[in-house]
Amino acid sequence: MSYSAEVYSRAKRIIDERRSAADRDANIKKADVYAKFPEVRELDNQLMRKMANFTMLMLRSQSELDEVLSSMKAEIDSIQQKRAGILLANGLPADYLEPHYTCKKCDDLGRKNGILCSCYKGLCRSEALNELDRSSGSASCSFDNFDLSYYTDNGASDGTNPRRKMQNYYNFCINYANEFSENSPSIVMMGRTGLGKTHLSLSIAKAVIANEKSSFGVVYAPAQKLVSELEREHFSFSGTNAALKKYTECDLLIIDDLGAEFPSQFTTAAIGNLINERLYENRPTIISTNLSGKELAERYSERTASRILGEYRKLFFVGEDIRFLKNR
Ligand SMILES: Nc1ncnc2c1ncn2[C@@H]1O[C@H](COP(=O)(O)OP(=O)(O)O)[C@@H](O)[C@H]1O
Ligand SMILES: [Mg+2]
Ligand SMILES: [Zn+2]
């Protein structure tokens, strides 16, 4: 699977709008030119009649067909030349009446020979980024504005140096994003509030989506939003499972602030199932949480906690609350 259905349909809508705008524009020009130069209309009618004859040709033998086709081509060329001559004589380019599509490769159809065109892929990518901005509400978080100077450099060159530690995590995350694949590990970012967990997980999401060599579907959701969507879907008894499918099947799921959701039997089971299912299917997940390992076990289950702590790559964030440092 790749992008969500929503992303594809938003991108397709833009392509369809481009194509109809180009067609509309061509029709307006045509009406104008026909009014001014009726001979152009007459030539277009002739062209249309020639095209209509085309279907009848299919009934003939191959040798006849070749002959008729070549004479027909000559006639069409001659009509088109006359038509171009009139346009040029009146200061208009020869292709003035053709629709001018944004993408010359697919004429704004989004596909060529059944394959998605690069314009469609590009639009999917930018729609996926828009979707990320909407769901995270913090369009500004990226690797570029992750500032390591917020973490103290206490001089030590071992694991007790916060800046060194965070520098390693930062490098790890950039690398993870650049090399993201179906085989990437899951990650859990642990540590107190304000240490940059959300910032780095959003940076990964953005970089994975922006990577032009791939088209992975990334879903970011605060734990609270994720569980309330699942809850609504579950208790609506509508038989649809769009939300569950989105969170279970996306290429990369980011659950932000696990533990901040309102606890209930439903939410803890839903989270546990989701985490298990994704591990079982080998689908990478990134979790950020303020909870300790012990708290994870108390809140969810021993089993879920040990899955996360045992099978995810663990990053223990350190430092001081950066929200606080920024406001000082
Ligand atoms: N290293 C950093 N450089 C710049 N801004 C940061 C950094 N770490 C965090 N921030 C900013 O500080 C605020 C809190 O960080 P956040 O990532 O939400 O922390 P957490 O998720 O660990 O609670 C956010 O506005 C975030 O963009
Ligand atoms: Mg956070
Ligand atoms: Zn195209």
- The packing angle between helices 223-236 and 265-280, to 10°, is 100
CATH entry, 137-327, from 3.90.180.10, 3.90.190.10, 3.40.50.300, 3.30.450.90: 3.40.50.300
DSSP per-residue letters across 171-214: HHHHHHHHT--TTPPPEEEE-STTSSHHHHHHHHHHHHHH-TT-
For tokens 């346009």, name the residue.
Answer: 87
Q: Are 287 and 255 in contact (CB under 8 A)?
A: yes
Expressed in angstroms and rounded, the spacing between residue 194 Cα and the centre of ligand 2 is 7
For tokens 């060329």, name the residue.
Answer: 77
Expressed in angstroms and rounded, the spacing between residue 108 Cα and the centre of ligand 3 is 5
Expressed in angstroms and rounded, the spacing between residue 288 Cα and the centre of ligand 2 is 7
Q: Are 131 and 4 in contact (CB under 8 A)?
A: yes
Q: Are 267 and 297 in contact (CB under 8 A)?
A: no
Return mean pLDDT, the chain.
93
Question: How is residue 118 written in tokens?
Answer: 């690069």
Residue 59 is predicted with a pLDDT of: 64
Residue 239 is predicted with a pLDDT of: 82
Mean local confidence (pLDDT), 310-325: 95
Residue 319: closest CA among 187, 189, 178: 189
pLDDT at residue 124 tops 80: yes
What does pTM read for this prediction?
0.87
Expressed in angstroms and rounded, the spacing between residue 191 Cα and the centre of ligand 1 is 12
pLDDT at residue 1 tops 80: no
List all residues 6 or more positions away from 1 whose beta carbon is below 8 Å from its beta carbon: 217, 249, 250, 251
Cβ of residue 198 lying under 6 Å from some atom of ligand 1: yes
Ligand index nearest the alpha carbon of residue 197: 1
Strand 111-112 vs strand 313-316: parallel, antiparallel, or unpaired?
A: unpaired
Give tens-digit pLDDT for 23-72: 999 999 999 999 999 999 999 999 998 887 776 766 667 777 788 888 88
Residue 67 is predicted with a pLDDT of: 81
Q: Which residues surround ligand 3, an ion (CB under 5 A)?
A: 103, 105-106, 117, 119
Domain boundaries defined on the chain: 5-116, 137-327
Instruction: Express as a percent the part of the chain with pLDDT over 90.
Output: 82
pLDDT at residue 148 tops 90: yes
Segment (H or E) for 60:
none
